[in-house]
Amino acid sequence: MLYEKEKQMHLHKLQTYDEMSAAAAQIFSKQITEKPDGVLGLATGTTPIGLYDRLAEMNDSGKLDFSKIRTVNLDEYCGLQPDHEQSYRFFMEKYLFSRVNIPKGNTNLPNGAAQDYDAECKRYDELIERLGGVDLQLLGIGNNGHIGFNEPADFFSGGTQRVKLTESTIQANARLFADASEVPDYALTMGIKTIMLARKIILLANGGKREIVERALYGPITSQVPASILQVHQNLEVVICEEN
């Protein structure tokens, strides 16, 4: 029998990482075809790399056009220049932007190298508003239930803000740095409210995230598991696979 919650969300349970990436690419492809000048909310991390590979292939073969698409990313580390190899700007250029026909000026991330973080958060919120909000927001999930860099907290956050990363996030992300001490302690992240205002959300997670996905989607809604708020989003696609 289906859980009540599964009736509200669209759940795609796949076996392999490739199948998960292909299913997510179909959702993106439909969105881009239906609204070629739409706003995509993008995410970094190892989970969406297969999806980005497919979007690049579809663009290459002429099936998808990114020339009018606008993008806003979820987050960026504080203190890293955009050309730093571990910055999320660098990641996005490498895995998606340089591989599709999107004008660089249409791509946006919070500026982690900003002098004034409060002003930068305000700029980012105003930018998202000026773009008309996010049509399709991609999310991964942290082992602690974070979405973007919204870590477990006493309340759900609002707009873009500077956050201190938890030790578990620093340890999880250390694999991409020379060692954990090089992982920045702070990041700028789109807030939960902005994420929830996206007209459609796609949550992507592989088998290694099974336990936290289960807690987020079927457990109590609590800011201690930030992704649990997704249970009340009206247009949520969950794309998961068994493979790690």
Residues near ligand PGA (CB under 6 A) are 45-47, 140-142
* Closer of 40 and 141 to ligand PGA (Cβ): 141
CB of 143 to ligand PGA, least distance (A): 8
Which of 12, 73, 75, 173 is flagged as catalytic?
75
Which of 12, 59, 135, 146 is flagged as catalytic?
146
* CA separation for the pair 157, 26 (Å, rounded): 30
Question: Dihedral angle at the C-alpha atoms of 199, 193, 85, 119, nearest 10 degrees?
Answer: 120
| Known active-site residue 144 | yes
* CA separation for the pair 93, 90 (Å, rounded): 5
| Known active-site residue 146 | yes
CB of 116 to ligand PGA, least distance (A): 26
Secondary-structure breakdown of the chain: helix, strand, coil percentages, each rounded to the nearest 5:
40, 20, 40
**Three-state SS annotation for 164-206:** ECCHHHHHHHHHHCCCHHHCCCEEEECCHHHHHCCCEEEEEEC
CB of 2 to ligand PGA, least distance (A): 27
CB of 188 to ligand PGA, least distance (A): 15
Instruction: Give the residue at shortest CB distance from ligand PGA.
Output: 45
* Closer of 106 and 190 to ligand PGA (Cβ): 190
Which of 6, 19, 57, 144 is flagged as catalytic?
144
* Closer of 55 and 141 to ligand PGA (Cβ): 141
* Closer of 38 and 45 to ligand PGA (Cβ): 45
Annotate 64-91 with DSSP letters as a single string: ---TT-EEEESEEETT--TTSTTSHHHH
Residue 10: phi and psi, rounded to 5, are -95, 115
Residues annotated catalytic, as ranges: 75, 144, 146, 151
